Structure 1
């Protein structure tokens, strides 16, 4: 029976995911190419892991180590670009190749430090991602608002996974020292499955095609609003009501800030302090109001209303609709279209309570 290591299966799944994403036009955007490179790097790393631990090919170890030194910086660079108004061109990302060059030189000159270097590299970049996450979802100004919280959660997951990968290398080193590597293969295989889950999250970030599941994280308790906050919030309300920019499915915090001529952080702080919510929730409330008006006054399918309002994910639309109105789009339309006497009876019943 042919032995197919688990990492090869993971590599195949990642390759299929990569091909599928390459066929989508939105993946050609500069800010999303790093995520494509990240997926490709994980797929190749899975192949290297399979060759090393499945068939005991020790000659692959230098390539495996160098690629690992690329994966951690690439993960950081991919998410860091989401915090920028304009993603850095790939030609300016060369600094993230320095760790890989250092590991390659270490393999040639001083192999004993390679393991420790990779551990520190993964933990260091993981901590750097956690540092980015301290400002919350609104820090990801280039992330589409429809999936801003998913982007944030994926960032945190990736950060924890990088730190966990560094710590797992410590466990593998101890196992090699104590038992000669009796359990190392199982540890690597389990870690590779976790990597697959991380890549699925990273893929969702890059394309923004997957909605977040669950309840939005509440913003931190806002400080007392200032007069400047009031002015910014008033300008933002006017922009939403007169220009209906919320109907843009690719809208993000950076685009809103540019339209107002303000820093993204200033807009985020004003929304948090004045409205007590994130920018994503604020924009989605405008979208839901628009959707409610459309559901009540025309016969467009619910899916068409969803797109017209600026949503691209049905599950996200339904979740936000429930959060704002307390009911589903279909039930809302049914109630609004109910005969007038029935609506009056319902109102009288409510008042008489």
Structure 2
């Protein structure tokens, strides 16, 4: 009977995820290229895991060691590109990978501890980015910012968990000569690669993102006249041009329309309204939807799209969060005669 190790199933799932991602994204955008690369790398890592621990091919271990530091670096770069703030590709993650490779070539006994620190470090950086909130994802469509942020935080947590798994494996080799290492690595790493690979499916940048406008001054904690002016102009754009109903709207597009830097827009909304830009935009979209629900007989799906939401499920979630009712319940209670 043919033996099929568990990681091989994960590889097949990730190949499917990769194909779906590539077919549904504009692959000329750098964020999409990095997310596709991340999924592909984890598919390869899953295949190597199945060869090493499923079929006992020891040669796969060396390839896994070479690939290991690349995975967290690409994960970080993929999510970081959605901030749109780097000038070209960041080089320090690549330097971390190069140091790992050099140590593996010169002093293999030190490779495992260094890989452990690499995973913990990149995981911590991603969690730090997660805690900064949705407004840092300036190139992401506002509709998708919440899901992308959650995927980023989950990826950071999994990288740290993967590093801690390596700590257990080292302990197991010390205590039992690695008796349980293969089983633990097979199940744990299969779970980790699936979670990170599937999470990458949420990575999305708005179409044709524009370049960031330079922001020379540092932000302050107090509301300024500039903040009030930005918010006034933003509200005018929504009221006059109904810009909030644009489905593919991003913070970067808003900042380009206003002619001010990304973080100045987010700072103005944060300080005055005490909410994120995505929450502010969705507030206007919900008001738009309420007007349509009250005054028209359009379907809930048609109204959700007209208000700027990409999907009905996203609309239902945000509408319930904002009003405490489903769209149908709100329409029944507020329908105009």
TM-score, length-normalised on structure 1?
Answer: 0.84
* 1:59 alignment partner in structure 2: 59
* 1:136 alignment partner in structure 2: 133
* 1:115 alignment partner in structure 2: 112
What is the Cα deviation at residue 105 of structure 1?
Answer: 3.8
Of 260, 271, 274, the residue aligned with 2:272 is 274
In structure 2, distance between residues paired with 1:228 and 1:185: 59
What is the Cα deviation at residue 56 of structure 1?
Answer: 1.8
Contact 1:81 1:88 in 2 (8 A): no
In structure 2, distance between residues paired with 1:9 and 1:321: 38
What is the Cα deviation at residue 283 of structure 1?
Answer: 0.2
In structure 2, distance between residues paired with 1:5 and 1:88: 43
What is the Cα deviation at residue 162 of structure 1?
Answer: 1.2
Tell me if 1:332 matches 2:330.
yes
Contact 1:27 1:207 in 2 (8 A): no
* 1:5 alignment partner in structure 2: 5
* 2:41 alignment partner in structure 1: 41
What is the Cα deviation at residue 88 of structure 1?
Answer: 6.2
Range with greater deviation from structure 2 (6-15 or 321-330)? 321-330
Kindly report which structure 2 residues correspond to 1:268-307, keeping only aligned pairs within 5 A, or say none: 268-307=266-305
* 2:252 alignment partner in structure 1: 254
* 1:346 alignment partner in structure 2: none
In structure 1, distance between residues paired with 2:232 and 2:165: 50
Tell me if 1:151 matches 2:142.
no
* 2:21 alignment partner in structure 1: 21
* 1:47-77 Cα shifts (integer Å, max 9, x gaps): 0011111122111112111111110100010
Contact 1:27 1:206 in 2 (8 A): no
Of 230, 233, 239, the residue aligned with 1:232 is 230
* 1:161-189 Cα shifts (integer Å, max 9, x gaps): 11221121111111112211111122212
What is the Cα deviation at residue 331 of structure 1?
Answer: 2.6
Relative distance call for 1:112 and 1:207 in structure 2 (3 A) is: same
* 1:174-230 Cα shifts (integer Å, max 9, x gaps): 11122111111222122321331232222113379xxxxxxxxxxxxx955333322
Contact 2:127 2:153 in 1 (8 A): yes
Range with greater deviation from structure 2 (25-34 or 252-261)? 25-34
What is the Cα deviation at residue 108 of structure 1?
Answer: 3.4
Relative distance call for 1:266 and 1:122 in structure 2 (3 A) is: same
Q: Secondary structure at the match of 1:83?
A: coil
What is the Cα deviation at residue 134 of structure 1?
Answer: 3.8
In structure 2, distance between residues paired with 1:107 and 1:276: 49
What is the Cα deviation at residue 256 of structure 1?
Answer: 0.9
What is the Cα deviation at residue 275 of structure 1?
Answer: 1.3
Instruction: Provide the aligned C-alpha RMSD in A.
Output: 2.2
What is the Cα deviation at residue 104 of structure 1?
Answer: 3.8
Gaps of at least 5 residues in structure 1 are 209-221, 341-353
Higher relative contact order (CA 8 A, sep 6+): 2
What is the Cα deviation at residue 80 of structure 1?
Answer: 0.7
Relative distance call for 1:207 and 1:53 in structure 2 (3 A) is: farther
Of 170, 176, 194, the residue aligned with 1:196 is 194
In structure 1, distance between residues paired with 2:200 and 2:227: 34
Q: Secondary structure at the match of 2:183?
A: helix
TM-score, length-normalised on structure 2?
Answer: 0.88
In structure 1, distance between residues paired with 2:305 and 2:26: 17
Q: What is the number of equivalent residue pairs in this alignment?
A: 323
- Structure number with bigger Rg: 1
